[in-house]
Amino acid sequence: MTHTLSPQTVRIAAVQTVSGPDVAENLRVVGGLIAEAADAGARLVALPEYFALISADERAKVAIREPEGRGPLQDFLREAAQRHGVWLVGGTVPLVAEAEDKVRNSTLVFDDRGECVARYDKIHLFGFSRGEERYDEAATIEPGGRVVAFDAPFGRVGLSVCYDLRFPELYRAMGEVSLIVVPAAFTHTTGRAHWEVLLRARAIENQCYVLAPAQGGRHPSGRVTWGHTLIADPWGEVLACRDEGAGVVVADLDPERIAAIRQSLPALAHRCLGGGT
């Protein structure tokens, strides 16, 4: 489906990283990529899950957790959003949890003035076991329990993180949104099999854009993430993708395209279950 961009288009960007155990180095790299995205004209920039730290020691993120509203990671996000005049979706930041030995894996959104306008705590915690490859996020992460969407000048935005992608009921609970953001660190195994098809499905089902910044490559810890940071449109077309390695992908969000697709194929209005009208 070809289309002409309308005057209301807004450029959005997703950052891909291959984060390691050195927080300062990770922030240096991310800072440069945010600047690159802003220079490309992006008004909203999204960072991947665990952008500040991926370590062989899963408890390392507990050691750097921050209370909501203060701490070096939140200061970094706030200052970057303000400096570049962009809305910044801060991948995930380890925030204080109720359990002393765990964190909340939290997405924080800062507007172009550096004000925190939304927080989403990852609800679904990844668990996977196949041969020597094992993951158990519940060992160090406390799940959230609240669906979050926020209003921006370019539309309503729904927040999710990585493994959430497999649970379409979460996205339905957001209501009608213009954009879904999915910061992720998908494993190479699961990403190769399911990443793109799930992202495109969420875009098609919800007739909105999907912005999916990811970790992509071999990390110092030995972990290999799938990458393929991408932006999909409401028809499920992939507008931009970066296979692996640190970098930025950009595309234009067009509100008129969302409206046209929803008018020609009013699937959201045709819903009969789960709160449909």
Residue with the two structure tokens 């992460």: 141
Residue 102 appears among annotated catalytic residues: no
Triad 262, 88, 83: Cα angle to 5°: 135
- What are the CA-CA distances from residue 178 to residues 9, 123, 165, 218 (Å)? 12, 21, 17, 33
Residue 122 appears among annotated catalytic residues: yes
Annotated catalytic residue, options 66, 102, 137, 162:
162
* C-beta neighbour count of 90 within 10 angstroms: 26
As a whole number of angstroms, the distance between CA 164 and CA 12 comes to 21
Count helices and strands (H / E) in the chain.
7, 17
Query: Closest Cα to residue 16, out of 262, 270, 241?
Result: 241
Structural contact between residues 10 and 252, judged by C-beta atoms closer than 8 angstroms: yes
Residue 133 appears among annotated catalytic residues: no
Q: What HEC string does 217-263 produce?
A: EECCCCCEEECCEEEECCCCCEEEEECCCCEEEEEEECHHHHHHHHH
Annotated catalytic residue, options 61, 122, 142, 244:
122
By annotation, the residues acting in catalysis are 49, 122, 162
